[in-house]
Amino acid sequence: MIPRRAVLAATPLLASPATLSAQTVWPNDRPVEVIVLAAAGGGVDAMARLVMPLIAQ
């Protein structure tokens, strides 16, 4: 019988090729739009503005 840990360790490896092939590349000519549900100038807004240039690359 196969140990439970071996089955749990192998599950992401078996599922990853199907999920990776299903993703498409984002077109470079379209901008990434993010909607922040927080007040302007707050901590969440400031963090989103700092992180978005890194995500949009």
CB-based burial label for 48 (10 Å; 0-12, 13-18, 19+):
middle
Per-residue pLDDT tens digits for 24-37? 676 777 777 888 88
Q: Record the tokens describing residue 38, joined without a space.
A: 């927080």
Which residues are within 8 A (CB) of 26 and not within 5 positions of it... i.e. 6 or more apart? 32
Q: Which tens digits make up the pLDDT trace of 2-57?
A: 688 887 777 776 666 555 555 667 677 777 788 888 888 899 899 988 988 887 76
Q: How far apart (Å, rounded) are the C-alpha atoms in residues 33 and 54?
A: 13
Tell me the pTM. Answer: 0.46
